[in-house]
Amino acid sequence: MTTDPADAALKALAEPRRRAILQLVAHDELAAGEIAAAFDVSRTAVSQHLTVLKEAGLLHERREATRRLYRARPEGLAELRDLLEDLWDSALDTARRLVEADRDTAAREEIA
């Protein structure tokens, strides 16, 4: 398992079913069986997806008697959000520099 939270979140969210699971539990705490019922795969497969999401810090698991209840951990997405914001800011800076360079080039061509 990776130690970088953003990498772990990206790897976990690369699988579409894991993203769908995270959306299911984004606002409601659901039992593993309720989550599994939403998918056309085995309960074992859903359990494996839940484990990956939990290990990536994206899910919180709570036990209630024999049931396991899951809910999203918004703070688990914080590192990923920070990474994406940094990438976005960098892309915007690059775009700004390119536009300014084009404008400077056009101004020099007008003078010449």
Burial (CB count <10 Å: 0-12, 13-18, 19+), residue 42: exposed
Mind listing the pLDDT tens digit for each residue in 34-62?
A: 999 999 999 999 999 999 999 999 999 99
CB 21 within 8 A of CB 36: no
Residue-range definition of the domain harbouring residue 22: 5-111
CATH number for the domain spanning 32: value is 1.10.10.10
The pTM of the full predicted model, rounded to 2 decimals, is 0.73
CB atoms within 10 A of CB 2: 13
Give the span between the Cα atoms of 7 and 106, in whole angstroms.
42
DSSP 38: T
Q: Is 76 exposed, middle or buried (0-12, 13-18, 19+ CB in 10 A)?
A: buried
Number of domains comprising the chain:
1
